[in-house]
Structure 1
Amino acid sequence: MSVAKDKTAEKEGGLYETVKVIIQALLIAFVIRTFLFQPFNIPSASMVQTLLVGDYLFVSKYAYGYSRYSIPFGIVPIPGRIFASQPKRGDIAVFKLPKDNSTDYIKRVIGLPGDEIQVTGGVLYINGEEVPRERVADYVDVGPNGREFRAPRYRETLPNGVSYEVLDTEENGLFDNTGIYKVPEGHYFMMGDNRDNSTDSRAQAFVGYVPFENFVGRAEVIFFSIREDTPIWQVWNWPWAVRWGRIFDSL
């Protein structure tokens, strides 16, 4: 065999190996994204201060088992849920908006199937019992325009002991006084931590009760965070724009 043929064969072999490695990497990424962890970013302020606009987080796909919404584009018509594990009160979960079954939402699990949920004077009630909340220091943030934003903040503790902080930015807000919501079987009641800036299960016409089938996964950890006024691709601004203290915060 000539030297030229040897070089051609070597190039073809090298190209084959490169293509094989790329395909294997894509398959591994697909498996991880579909069955283990999926990245999400936070586009709105509905979960402030727990989650900020510009946070990037991993959601565990296996936490609640798998439904057709676990598979990209819903290409596998899984009936109901397999390997199901029920969401716990206080979990931060990603789900498909029941109104269109395609838009990703992230909220906190507040009501379980059969629960009665009500908000009175901004205070949460579960099954007729007031959920304790303790006033803590105001939440303070500085916007892109340099203006300071300050909001009353409370530490809320659910009946199972899960504790987190919520904001109450508006007295007598739209959903500060509600009727009683009776959570249907197989559904969950979701709320944002930024109570006056969250469209959630209290807005029955827009979100309402979330079917278990619509759950995508549970938020686990923030793996990256950058100020909302800085695009992630502007790497030259990272030293000043990245919120270094939030990286690897567990949820």
Structure 2
Amino acid sequence: PSAMPGRIFASQPKRGDVIVFKLPRDGETDYIKRLIGLPGDKIQMIKDRLYINGQMVDRQPLAPFTATGRFNTSEEVPHYRETLPGGVSHEIIQLDGDANPMPYTANTDVYEVPPGEYFFMGDNRDNSSDSRVPPDKGGVGYVPFENLVGRAEVIFFSVDDAPAWEFWRWPWTVRWNRMFHVVR
């Protein structure tokens, strides 16, 4: 496949990589998600559990994750270590019941990843507009190889609830604890 201008991949992407890609519906917006499905894979969610090619992905509980919301509210949510086929493990969080803003992502049809395309999911499983959500519903859908930019390595800058260009709000919206952390 041909490479897009600015592409920094030196090798084929691997399942479990956190990847920056151009949103397929506009070709310009940068998105960052975890690569879950490779070309030819069958992906499905059943009762909030991830299945790849008919096999339930291993998931072990961790201590609850404290999620901070608007107005400095906090809430403990389920937190897991998920291990994908091939051994890559990472942490995910899931919201339960009424707290899930996208309940239709908990149980899905089988997604069969087309040749030359990839399937991405967010680690904040129930609050992620990712490949489970079709582009016409504001989601990502499948992502063609040509849209992949590169692997995410370090969080350089992170803000919450404000556009990055509103620099006068940074002291209250910058997530200082996330900056310069290695992406896992």
TM over 0.5: yes
In the TM superposition, what whole-angstrom CA distance separates every residue of 1:134-187 from its partner, at most 9, and x where no partner exists? 111111133341322221111111111111111111338211111111111111
What is the aligned-residue identity percentage? 53
Larger Rg: 1
CA contact (8 A) 2:62 2:79 kept: yes
Q: Distance in 2 between matches of 1:123 and 1:193?
A: 13
The 5-angstrom pairing of residues 203-242 of structure 1 reads 203-205=133-135, 206-225=139-158, 228=161, 233-234=167-168, 237=171
For residue 70 of structure 1, report the CA deviation from its aligned partner: 2.2
Residue 250 of structure 1: aligned partner: 182
Q: 1:164 corresponds to which letter in structure 2?
A: H
1:235 to partner: Cα distance: 9.3
What is the number of residues matched between the two proteins? 175
Distance 1:100 1:237 in 2: 32
Which residue of 1 is the match for residue 32 of structure 2? 106
Separation in structure 2 between the aligned mates of residue 181 and residue 149 of structure 1, nearest angstrom: 32
Q: CA deviation at 1:193?
A: 0.8
Asked if residue 67 in structure 1 is aligned to residue 14 in structure 2, the reply is no
Higher relative contact order (CA 8 A, sep 6+): 2
Q: Which of 186, 189, 201 is residue 131 of structure 2 equivalent to?
A: 201
TM-score by length of 2: 0.81
Which of 81, 87, 96 lines up with 1:161 in the alignment? Answer: 87
| TM-score, normalised with respect to structure 1 | 0.61
Counterpart contact for 1:144–1:229, Cα < 8 Å: no
- CA distance in structure 2 between the aligned counterparts of 1:247 and 1:222, rounded to whole angstroms: 5
Q: Residues 66 and 83 of structure 1 are in contact (CA less than 8 Å); yes or no, is this contact kept in structure 2?
A: no
Q: 1:145 aligns with which of 59, 71, 90?
A: 71
Please say if residues 159 and 170 of structure 2, whose CA atoms lie closer than 8 Å, have aligned partners that are also in contact.
Answer: no
1:132 paired with 2:62, answer no
The unaligned stretches of length 5 or more in structure 2 are: none
Taking the aligned partners of 1:69 and 1:208, their CA distance within structure 2 comes to 22
Root mean square deviation, CA, Å: 2.9
- 8 Å CA contact 2:9, 2:151 repeated in 1: no
Distance verdict in 2 for CA 1:177–1:235, change over 3 Å? closer
1:157 partner letter: T
Q: Secondary structure at the match of 1:145?
A: helix
* 1:19-42 deviation digits (Å, cap 9, x = unpaired): xxxxxxxxxxxxxxxxxxxxxxxx
- Look up the match of 1:34: none
Question: What is the CA–CA distance in structure 1 between the aligned matches of 2:132 and 2:110, rounded to whole Å?
Answer: 10
Which residue identity is paired with 2:140? V
Q: Which residue of 2 aligns with 1:189?
A: 119
Query: What amino acid maps onto 2:76 in structure 1?
Result: R
Structure 1 residues not aligned, in runs of 5+: 1-64, 72-81
